[in-house]
Structure 1
Amino acid sequence: MTDPALDAEALRERAVASLITARDRTTLLTSCVDEPELTAQHSPLMSPLVWDLAHIGNQEEQWLLRAVAGHEAIRPEIDGLYDAFEHPRAERPSLPLLPPDEARRYAADVRGRALDVLEAAAFDGTRLTEAGFAFGMIAQHEQQHDETMLITHQLRRGPRALTAPDPEPVPLFTGPSEVLVPGGPFTMGTSDEPWALDNERPAHRREVAPFRIDTTPVTNATYQAFIADGGYDEPRWWTAEGWAHVRRNAITAPLFWRRDGGQWLRRRFGVTEAVPPDEPVLHVCWYEADAYARWAGRRLPTETEWEKAARYDPAGDRSARYPWGDAEPTPEHANLGQRHLRPAPAGSYPAGESPLGVRQLIGDVWEWTSSDFLPYPGFRAFPYKEYSEVFFGPGHKVLRGGSFAVDAVACRGTFRNWDLPVRRQIFSGFRTARSEEI
């Protein structure tokens, strides 16, 4: 029998490591630019970086210090300023936000107290503290805002502020272009992943017809073929809403791309470079992904299909945590955690391949699916409705798999992301699928 004290210590170590990793990344993202860059709004789609910084601290205070530990509020007067539902992003620069140095001190003060709470935590008694859930939730929340801040860095103009090594070069992928996923039932979602969020729960059985899915995400080269064939000029590939959107906004290529003579260039974190043909395409909206799939004679996979391709192990008729099994991700498995500032070439990370032979399902680019963001059967909002429930419905499409900007703590085979079908500033790509002839 496992010693509960050892389990508690392992949970404590994991929580501490996850919180420290997130804060180190937050510090990097907010210390590499000067104060005017922190307080500026680089796009109406995004908050000023300084808002994210104090919001991270405020959420940590509300959940770890107040809800878990029962402490009195440190700065109750700022709760409204950093309520994401009270103030849309476009309004946040006009708010009386904490200046950068004060925001840093506030977040550091909260963190010091939170680590004291964690040191004494028993990890039992309530659902919020069971298995350290609240600490895992806050680590994930901070990492999600770190990804948001990285998007802001991509949108900002000016010289490069961030650097990272490129992924290792790999030979051009020459494996099969698609993989057969067998039909039949599988277990979707989770009921026993300790830090899984409410929309990932509960585990339930789904029946899936056989289908074929791309072995790797769609690349820049193949997406360029869609452009060259007049994909943005042919309404038959687009939904009515998608066609109206690209016409209204004069969209003719992925965000940050431009044509220069005979080649495509892109802007990536302050650097202009040639679009690499073998990387997964990036910064496309759902409408663009859907149109490409139609042009290719295929379709986007459903969310259920994507998860079966990512988690199903036919040898044991089971659903694993990740495509490669239950082990935590390593740099050999996937491109995660802002280790690189770009996707790895298609076909990278053979160690991360699923039992069915699908690659790069975790990391590199978020992958659009055809599915609306909806609750699973038996869903219960926890710990607050605004995390998932208020977004359910046909307005938001599901993305899966994470990107190079996602930390491992906020990415697993059951993790669900969602966004509006017009969004392109996110680190989004896709792969296609087709139904198997029976």
Structure 2
Amino acid sequence: MAVRALSEGLAAPLSDADATAQSMADASPAKWHLAHTTWFFETFVLRDHVPGYHLHDERWPFLFNSYYEAEGQRSRRDRRGMMTRPTLAEVLAYRAHVDVAMAEALPALAPAAGAIVALGCHHEEQHQELLVTDILHLFSLNPLEPALWPAARKVPVALPGPIGWIAHPGGTVEIGHDGGGFGFDCEGPRHRALLTPHVIADRTVTNGEWAAFIEDGGYADPAWWLSDGWTWVKSEDIATPLYWERRDGMWTRFGLDGRRAIDPAAPVTHVSFFEADAYAGWAGARLPTESEWEAFAASHDAGDGNQTDAAGPVEPRPAITAPAPFGDVWEWTGSAFRPYPGFRPADGAIGEYNGKFMSGQFVLRGGSCATPRGHARASYRNFFYPHQRWQFTGVRLARDL
């Protein structure tokens, strides 16, 4: 119920129009996120494990199924913004109906169904982050540049010192979920990985450091870019991180608190894998592998940083300790999102959760300021395509020894 309440709290400032619009095919309307997460519980718990349960509306599975082929036909992803009906109020009533049914069903559910409830809660937390970042992208296209959560102007903190480097001697390490507590299927099985000697940065790259990359012509020099990345930069006219603009002689960014001057000490965010890789080359470094990142995270108790506890301002904050806590921005790795040795998808529709996406995407680690607190862990594997950057994505560097 706490998970369910947070979703509604995040959406509370939205009008019906705000919650219905879709800014791009990668994003979904807030109303759809609220309904889809409800559909998940209704379908995979109530329908499948509660005798006598009747769907709230027989037409709605077509609207709110996301990508589960086993569940049949569904509305096209890029047309979710066309759903002016049901209204936001009707979707909230749907949530209330399913919540009541879930509360009644929970005490008698079999362990297998209980595991699906746990998956559904973590699934909804994923959609809470998407809900926030999709709203940010939508509002950035509004000429009024509205703030979802107006906030007082912030006082910049002192710039951090130079990046510190933490050495690892290399050797065999174990990575992946250890089976204790919840973990998504793609986090396992736990297995051994071989690391070469390397160093990893004690914090992520800042806005100020990224501004230096821009001023040095980083976006105009093909020497730093992968071929696909350079094609993307030229075809999409990319010259800055997403939401950055030069106004009155200074760099500004658009955030959930509106348009503000960038904080040079805060982590840079909303950069793609292509940008992260180019910056790393320019800085004389590289992106860490996900094995290196997890070995570092597991051996440095840095907490989970600045993450979402309740509805309210969401933005990365400057690091004031070293090593900096994880969790302000997702950190790109140089690793492709592929199955671990011995991975097997679950049977049935639930088996479509992660395995079918293990192609063409790169792994991110750590969590972000829009991630619900407690959702991520050292073994957590997020993944996006190399051009995508509307999430709170940033950069931690590594170097070979």
TM-score by length of 1: 0.82
Alignment-derived partner of residue 10 in structure 1: none
Moved over 4 A (4+): 163-172
CA shift, 1:201, in A, is 1.1
Alignment-derived partner of residue 213 in structure 1: 200
1:382-401 aligned within 5 A: 382=346, 384-393=350-359, 395-401=360-366
1:204-243 aligned within 5 A: 204-243=191-230
Alignment-derived partner of residue 70 in structure 2: none
How far apart, CA to CA, are the structure 2 residues paired with 1:71 and 1:419? 39
How far apart, CA to CA, are the structure 2 residues paired with 1:431 and 1:29? 29
1:20-419 aligned within 5 A: 20-74=1-55, 75-85=57-67, 86-95=74-83, 97-121=85-109, 124=111, 128-129=112-113, 132-155=114-137, 156=139, 157=142, 158=144, 159-163=146-150, 172-174=159-161, 177-269=164-256, 271-312=258-299, 323-324=300-301, 333-337=304-308, 340-348=313-321, 358-360=323-325, 362-382=326-346, 384-393=350-359, 395-419=360-384
Q: Is the 8 A contact 2:163 2:203 kept in 1?
A: no
How far apart, CA to CA, are the structure 2 residues paired with 1:97 and 1:121? 33
Q: Is the 8 A contact 2:159 2:264 kept in 1?
A: no
Q: Which digits, 9 at most, give the CA deviation of each residue in 1:304-356, with x for residues without a partner?
A: 111111113xxxxxxxxxx428xxx6xxx5211255511120244x6xxxxxx
How far apart, CA to CA, are the structure 1 residues paired with 2:53 and 2:66? 22
What secondary structure, in the 3-state scheme, does the structure 1 residue paired with 2:209 have? helix
Identify if the C-alpha distance between structure 1 residues 240 and 262 changes in structure 2 by more than 3 Å, giving closer, same or farther. same
How many aligned positions are there?
Answer: 385
Identify if the C-alpha distance between structure 1 residues 174 and 368 changes in structure 2 by more than 3 Å, giving closer, same or farther. same
How far apart, CA to CA, are the structure 2 residues paired with 1:297 and 1:175? 14
Identify if the C-alpha distance between structure 1 residues 185 and 293 changes in structure 2 by more than 3 Å, giving closer, same or farther. same
Gaps of 5+ in 1: 1-19, 313-322, 351-357
CA shift, 1:188, in A, is 0.5
Q: Is the 8 A contact 1:166 1:341 kept in 2?
A: no
Q: Which digits, 9 at most, give the CA deviation of each residue in 1:4-61, with x for residues without a partner?
A: xxxxxxxxxxxxxxxx232222112222121122222233431221111111110111
Q: Is the 8 A contact 1:140 1:409 kept in 2?
A: no
How far apart, CA to CA, are the structure 1 residues paired with 2:182 and 2:95? 23
TM-score by length of 2: 0.89
Deviates more, 1:401-410 or 1:427-436: 401-410
Identify if the C-alpha distance between structure 1 residues 404 and 275 changes in structure 2 by more than 3 Å, giving closer, same or farther. same
Identify if the C-alpha distance between structure 1 residues 176 and 295 changes in structure 2 by more than 3 Å, giving closer, same or farther. closer
CA shift, 1:97, in A, is 4.5
CA shift, 1:385, in A, is 3.0
How far apart, CA to CA, are the structure 1 residues paired with 2:315 and 2:284? 28
How far apart, CA to CA, are the structure 1 residues paired with 2:123 and 2:50? 19
How far apart, CA to CA, are the structure 2 residues paired with 1:374 and 1:89? 24
Q: Is the 8 A contact 1:54 1:98 kept in 2?
A: no
How far apart, CA to CA, are the structure 1 residues paired with 2:357 and 2:51? 29
Deviates more, 1:245-254 or 1:46-55: 46-55
How far apart, CA to CA, are the structure 2 residues paired with 1:258 and 1:45? 22
Q: Which digits, 9 at most, give the CA deviation of each residue in 1:234-271, with x for residues without a partner?
A: 00100110000010010100000011243101111251
How far apart, CA to CA, are the structure 2 residues paired with 1:95 and 1:32? 20
Q: Is the 8 A contact 2:151 2:257 kept in 1?
A: no
Gaps of 5+ in 2: 68-73
CA shift, 1:71, in A, is 5.0
Q: Is the 8 A contact 1:154 1:270 kept in 2?
A: no
How far apart, CA to CA, are the structure 1 residues paired with 2:35 and 2:398? 42
Q: Is the 8 A contact 1:170 1:345 kept in 2?
A: yes
Identify if the C-alpha distance between structure 1 residues 114 and 137 changes in structure 2 by more than 3 Å, giving closer, same or farther. same
How far apart, CA to CA, are the structure 1 residues paired with 2:366 and 2:152? 22
Deviates more, 1:236-245 or 1:376-385: 376-385
Q: Is the 8 A contact 1:150 1:405 kept in 2?
A: yes
Deviates more, 1:74-83 or 1:395-404: 74-83
What secondary structure, in the 3-state scheme, does the structure 2 residue paired with 1:63 have? helix
What secondary structure, in the 3-state scheme, does the structure 2 residue paired with 1:80 have? helix
Q: Is the 8 A contact 1:398 1:419 kept in 2?
A: yes
Identify if the C-alpha distance between structure 1 residues 334 and 242 changes in structure 2 by more than 3 Å, giving closer, same or farther. same
Identify if the C-alpha distance between structure 1 residues 274 and 115 changes in structure 2 by more than 3 Å, giving closer, same or farther. same
Question: 1:215 corresponds to which letter in structure 2?
Answer: D
Q: Is the 8 A contact 2:245 2:251 kept in 1?
A: yes
CA shift, 1:76, in A, is 3.6
What secondary structure, in the 3-state scheme, does the structure 2 residue paired with 1:273 have? strand
What secondary structure, in the 3-state scheme, does the structure 2 residue paired with 1:79 have? helix
Q: Is the 8 A contact 2:63 2:75 kept in 1?
A: yes
Q: Which digits, 9 at most, give the CA deviation of each residue in 1:405-430, with x for residues without a partner?
A: 10134211111110111111111001
CA shift, 1:172, in A, is 4.3
Q: Is the 8 A contact 2:314 2:370 kept in 1?
A: yes
